[in-house]
Structure 1
Amino acid sequence: MKVLLVTGRAASKIVEEYASKSGVDFEVYVMSHEVAALIPPIEIAKRLKAHGVKGFDLILIPGLISGDVSVIEKEVGIPTFKGPIHAADIPYVLSMIGKVELSKVEPACKILNLSRELREEEELRALEEELRSKAYFDIAGVPIAKGSLRIVAEVTSAPIKGVEATLAEALRYKSYGADIVDIGMVAGESKPELASKLVRTIKKEVEVAVSIDSLDPKEITAAVEAGANLVISVDSGILDDLQDLPRDVAIVVIPTDVKKGYYPTTIGDKVSALEETVDKALRMGFKKVIADPILSPPLQPSLLESLVAYYEFAKRRPNVPLMMGVGNVTELMDVDSIGINGLMAAIAAELEISLLLTTEASNKTCNCVRELCIAARMAKLSKMARKPMKDLSLSLLAIKEKRDLTLPVEKMEGCEVVKASESRMHDYDPSGYVKITIDKCRRGLLASHFKAGEVTCIIEGARAEDVYNELIKRGLVTTLSHAAYLGKELYKAELALKLGKSYVQDEELDFGFLVRS
């Protein structure tokens, strides 16, 4: 197959560079325009026809060109489609020719991503059917099977947060893909009425299974009576106090006995104690018993030993589903949680864990539920395909990226290169000054304009561009240096919102070791 790649003068070298990596026979046709994306398809058609283009099996047009490129195919008689937006994607697009139907309207990269997404969604649907047929049992319609990796998202310290805040968090977790929302009660307190109200509110307002995490029998009983589908952290000592609990409610048992002050530390003791508690629960008639050997944070005491306990228990009791509390690792390491969640989901998939519990108990673990939901899907897809957790439509790459899309610096002959002088504070703007803040709850930017020390108006928007355009439209910015300064600060604030970082006007965003020498 021979492919003709159409481009403009500005991108011709980089298009040729990337196309040469594909192993596909190609030629590059360079239009006289500087930027090919601005050329109407009809003009490309006329130029190619006049040039007498022939001998090609396919023509690829830059993905950013607007409109339908069918007119080119009609004029030159060669199948014509839109290529990718970025030159760096050319090798991948060329490798997929014949495997995926490209578009004459949408960029090839978008078509390929959509094709991959649709295929993976179908694979996940098929897996769900398989899991449903092999499930140990279900929790409010959610099948719990070996390796199902169901996400349990805990609202920590729910009584302190209150009903309204707990509901808002539950709605957010559900939107991220959580299968079960867990209401975390406060140890040492007994608030059964509040536990009941929290469960009833979430059951009413959110279509999701609900669990209660408490060591207080009264709170547990009240929560189950209110409709809780799962009870977490049930140890040997508390089981005796749950005689009246319905036997069809699911329970997660752990290897401790808080009443007696027993906390096993060795792998053997953990596994044995957990087996005894599982058997005790089964003898009491509980039909949906899940085991949690308890995941430990790295080094203190030992993540590795706790993982071995999961492995050993799974070998000894293959018919008992397992839950893993990933939050014990993400919360107890000063490491970005994205990578931790990706790795822990992969380990959980290898151990065929049924449920993954996570928390967002601190600022550094915000978005952990969303991260773990994505990681679990990636792990399941990769395990099905028997390949590493990469090259999927999903990824957890946020700061780093797989391909460098930066265009090379072009040498401009005869053009003066001026070294920028050190910046100084912008000139005073007679129209006043602007104080910029962010509202993380409402996901917005706030620009408060001050004149003579008094606030004149507050402009709110989701994007930096919207806010600074409104400032300009209202005549609240009148100097170029002030406009440039506000553009920089507003974009910085928008970036902080996207990344969940702090924003303080006139201070750089903190990217930790990346920006420290």
Structure 2
Amino acid sequence: MKILVVTGLLASDAVLKAVGDLADVLVLPTPVAALITPQKLLTGWRNSDFFKNQYDAVLVSGFSKFNFSKAEAEIKCPIYLGPKHAVDLKQVLKSFDFQTFSKTVPACELIQNQKKAQSLELLKEYAQNEAGTFQIGNVPVGGNARMKILAEIVSAESLSFNEIRSQINYLISEGADMIDLGFSPDADEQTVSSIVSDVKSYCPIPVSIDSGSFSQIRAGIESGVDLVLSVDSQILAEFELSSDVFPDSVLNRISFVVIPDLFSNSNESHLESLEKNLSAARQFGSKNLIADPILSPPGRDLFLSLKDYYDFHQRQPDVPILFGAGNVTELFDADSVGMNALLAEIADECGASILFTPNAGDKGKGSVSELKTASEMMLLAKIRNSSPKDLGIDLLILKEKRKRPDFNLNLISKSGAFEMLHLPDDEIENKQPETNQNDSSFETAESDSVSGSAHESEFVRPLLLSGALNPNFTAGTKWGWKSDPSGNFLIGVLPVFDLIPYLIQSSGLNENSAEIQKLKSVQTPGKRVIAAVHQKMILVGIDSAFMMESVLNEGLISELSHAGYLGRELQKAEIAVFLGRSYSQDDKF
């Protein structure tokens, strides 16, 4: 396939370097590639050495807004949007498929979207054919099944039914495959039974009980839990004494996580104790057993505990393993994203079937989603026999695979680029009328403006250092706070599941209203949105620019300084939403 890449003067070096010998490159005398009009493309092509060549496709800047249909007719090949940045050209050209590329969507976005769609489809197909060792509810675990995510609601007895339901909705939206209810030692059996019964009636995925008390475990079993965390020799002895209470039908339905005796006075190793307890659990009739060698916290023999996981899997490869990733992330003051990714990889090598994490602690929020994505990445890597890289899904939150170019000061020239960058598309068309194909005067004028001609020397922009960069800077009274006659705003960030009950109560909406359904479809981390509350209305969104436009359209603002302030606060809130960070109005981000 023969491809021609078209670019402007400013990006020419970067484009030539990125393309190499993968395609031909036509450099036109327009500074900014995005502003190359169809007529400029045709004029440059006619005057170039590429005029006699036949191409399968032409790529223009991914930022271009022009219609190239007339140019396509003359060049006799389709013209597609390439990537937005030169750094992505190599990847685009190596994977180029003209049947899937677009004249309206940049190639870099298409490739990423296509990779993600392919990965999600592959995961969906795999899930339909998973063969687990057994099932917890309707969720296969062990065997060749993807590592499942078990998310714990801590101290469930301290929460109301509505709070528990809200957490369940949140955890499922984050990717939890199963919900674990953790109970404090002093929670009474009636409370445990009531909570488990309510959750089982509401929750569409398997439910487990996490307790060290046999009476609580029994109450959970009687109320329908699918999984029990965790049983050691002491709990097993209680089961033995109460064997008549649990018929075989119950024991066959429920799965048990078996752990070693952590505080035994014997000289048994953790693995020896774990295998002994597994054997005892089998004897009293349980068939669906999961082993948890116990992951030690950082600074407390973490490596040795990982070795226990690996050694156990080598000794009993058919027994599913629970891996308590939260034991590390909760006790390590470091961002959880990278840790959860690496822990999932280690767990996968150790044969883990379930990744366990609590939904507790502010710094650990997001771990469910992170572990779910990491488990999917490990499965995709295994299917493709590759490292968890370039899969279409990733856990890159703040860091980038390919850095975008820094600001190029050459853009600030008298070429017209500066004035046109912020014009609407239709005005760009009107601003640059197509030049007659025999008139190449635009080439000389634009070329001069970039090469440092006399035009630039006649134009000088003053430099003004602002704020901390200028020791003599004094804030003016126009920016000082004053009340806006149109009213002021309270701005915050919150999960949609906390916002929806308030809206139903205060705005007359119901669960089936279009607005509520739209809110439920939000895909931000933690399903959080921005709420800007004005005395006349509540604005909810995830895009600060659109929210600001709504404010202006509704006439909710009249002070210029207030508009600047509001735009800044909404932008801070948007960044907080998409990074999963907290936000407080008027506070530093």
Question: TM-score higher than 0.5 here?
Answer: yes
C-alpha separation in 2, matches of 1:152 and 1:270: 23
Matched, 1:158 2:162: no
Could you say what secondary structure the match of 1:175 adopts?
helix
8 Å contact from structure 2 (residues 207, 225) kept in 1: yes
Are 1:235 and 2:232 matched, yes or no? yes
| Whole-angstrom CA distance in 1 between matches of 2:371 and 2:220 | 26
* Bigger mean CA offset, 365-374 vs 147-156: 147-156
- What's the counterpart of residue 466 of structure 2? 421
Q: Which moved more, 1:101-110 or 1:391-400?
A: 101-110
Q: Aligned partner of 1:312: which letter?
A: D
Kindly indicate whether the alpha-carbon contact (under 8 Å) linking 2:492 and 2:584 is maintained by their aligned counterparts in 1.
no
Q: Distance in 2 between matches of 1:67 and 1:474?
A: 32
Q: Please give the alpha-carbon distance, in whole angstroms, between the structure 2 residues aligned to 1:206 and 1:44.
A: 61
Q: Does 1:143 align with 2:140?
A: yes
Report the CA distance between 1:296 and its aligned residue: 1.1
Give, in angstroms, the shift of residue 237 of structure 1: 0.6
Match of 1:288 in 2: 288
Distance in 1 (alpha carbons) for counterparts of 2:69 and 2:292: 59
1:23-422 to structure 2, matched below 5 A, reads 23=20, 24-30=22-28, 32=30, 34=32, 36=34, 39=37, 47=43, 53-57=51-55, 58-66=57-65, 72-97=71-96, 101-125=100-124, 127-128=126-127, 131-132=130-131, 135-146=132-143, 148-190=146-188, 192-242=189-239, 243=243, 244-245=245-246, 246-248=250-252, 249-256=254-261, 262=264, 269-299=269-299, 301-411=300-410, 412=413, 413-414=456-457, 415-422=460-467
How far is the alpha carbon of 1:131 from its aligned partner? 3.8
Shift of 1:327: 0.7
Quickly say closer, same or farther: Cα 1:431–1:103, change in 2 above 3 A: closer
Which of the numbers 470, 484, 496 marks the counterpart of 1:431?
484
| CA deviation vs aligned residue, 1:123-162 (integer Å, no higher than 9, x gap) | 4345446641xx2111112211246311111111111122
**How much has 1:44 moved relative to structure 2?**
6.8
Q: How much has 1:387 moved relative to structure 2?
A: 2.3
Deviates more, 1:174-183 or 1:495-504: 495-504
- If the length of structure 1 is used for normalisation, what is the TM-score? 0.85
Structure with larger Rg: 2
**In the TM superposition, what whole-angstrom CA distance separates every residue of 1:204-225 from its partner, at most 9, and x where no partner exists?**
3332111111122233223223
Q: By how many angstroms is 1:106 displaced?
A: 3.3
Q: Counterpart of 1:153 in 2: which secondary structure?
A: strand
2:419 corresponds in structure 1 to none
**C-alpha distance in structure 1 between counterparts of 2:126 and 2:227, whole Å:** 24
| Per-residue CA distance 1:266-304 (angstroms, 9 max, x = gap) | 9x61101101110000111101000001111111x1211
- Alignment of 1:501 with 2:584, yes or no, is no
Distance 1:13 1:315, change over 3 A: same
Say whether the 8 Å CA contact 2:493–2:573 is kept in structure 1.
no
Residues 80 and 409 (structure 1 numbering): CA distance in 2 closer, same or farther, change over 3 Å? Answer: closer
Instruction: State the alpha-carbon separation in 1 of the partners of residues 52 and 316 from structure 2.
Output: 68
| Equivalent-residue separation in structure 1 for 2:533 and 2:204 (angstroms) | 39
1:440 partner SS: strand
**2: CA distance, partners of 1:354 / 1:214:** 21
Percent of paired sites with the same residue: 32
1:111–1:234 distance in 2 versus 1, CA, 3 Å: same
CA distance in 1 between counterparts of 2:32 and 2:151 reads: 52
SS at match of 2:569: helix
The TM-score with structure 2 as length reference comes to 0.75
- Partner Cα distance (2:378, 2:157) in 1: 34
Retained in 2: the 8 A contact 1:378–1:394?
yes
Give the superposition deviation at 1:197.
3.3
Deviations 1:392-446 (A, max 9, x none): 2111111111111134422344442513222636134463574543142333444
Are the equivalent residues in 2 in contact too, given 1:81–1:102 (CA < 8 A)? yes
Name the stretch that deviates more: 353-362 or 13-22. Answer: 13-22
User: For residue 544 of structure 2, what is the amino acid of its counterpart?
Assistant: A
- Give the residue type in structure 2 aligned to 1:254: I
Q: What's the secondary structure of 2:10's corresponding residue?
A: helix
**1:333 Cα offset (Å):** 0.7
Letter in 2 for 1:81: Y
CA distance change for structure 1 residues 471 and 77 in 2, over 3 Å: closer, same or farther?
closer
Measured in 2, the distance between the counterparts of 1:97 and 1:394 equals 20
Q: Specify the code of the residue in structure 2 equivalent to 1:416.
A: R
Rounded to whole Å, the distance in 1 between the matches of 2:128 and 2:237 is: 37
Counterparts in 2 of 1:113 and 1:495: CA distance versus 1, 3 Å: closer
In terms of mean alpha carbon deviation, does 309-318 or 290-299 score higher?
309-318
Backbone CA RMSD of aligned residues: 3.0
Higher relative contact order, structure no. (Cα contacts within 8 Å, ≥ 6 residues apart): 2
Which secondary structure does the structure 1 equivalent of 2:409 belong to? coil
Partner of 1:514: none
1:406 corresponds to which letter in structure 2? P
Q: Provide the rounded CA distance (Å) in 1 between the counterparts of 2:138 and 2:481.
A: 63
Give 1:485 deviation, angstroms: 2.5
Query: For 1:155 and 1:45, how far apart are their aligned partners in 2?
Result: 60
**Could you say if the C-alpha distance between residues 314 and 201 of structure 1 is closer, same or farther in structure 2, counting changes exceeding 3 Å?**
same
Q: Which segment is superposed worse, 214-223 or 244-253?
A: 214-223
For 1:501 and 1:215, the matched residues in 2 are separated by 34
Which amino acid in structure 2 is aligned with residue 421 of structure 1?
S
Cα deviations by residue, 1:357-397 (Å, 9 ceiling, x for unpaired): 11121111111101110011111112332322221211111
- Output the amino acid matched with 2:260: P
Deviation digits for residues 159-179 of structure 1 (CA, Å, limit 9, x no counterpart): 112221111111222222221
Provide closer, same or farther for how the CA distance between residues 445 and 281 of structure 1 changes in structure 2, counting only shifts above 3 A. same
1:453 corresponds in structure 2 to: none
Q: Secondary structure at the match of 1:339?
A: helix
- Residue 493 of structure 1 aligns to a residue in which SS? helix
State the Cα distance separating 1:255 from its structure 2 match: 0.8
Asked if structure 1 preserves the Cα contact closer than 8 Å seen for 2:484 and 2:562, the reply is: no
Name the SS for the 2:352 alignment partner. Answer: coil
Aligned equivalents of 2:98, 2:302: Cα separation in 1:
44
- Shift of the 199–44 alpha-carbon distance from structure 1 to 2, 3 Å rule, reads farther
Find the counterpart in structure 2 of residue 515 from structure 1. none
Q: 1:330, CA displacement in angstroms?
A: 0.9
Correspondence for 2:564: 484
Residues in 1 aligned to 2:135 and 2:68: alpha-carbon distance in whole angstroms: 51
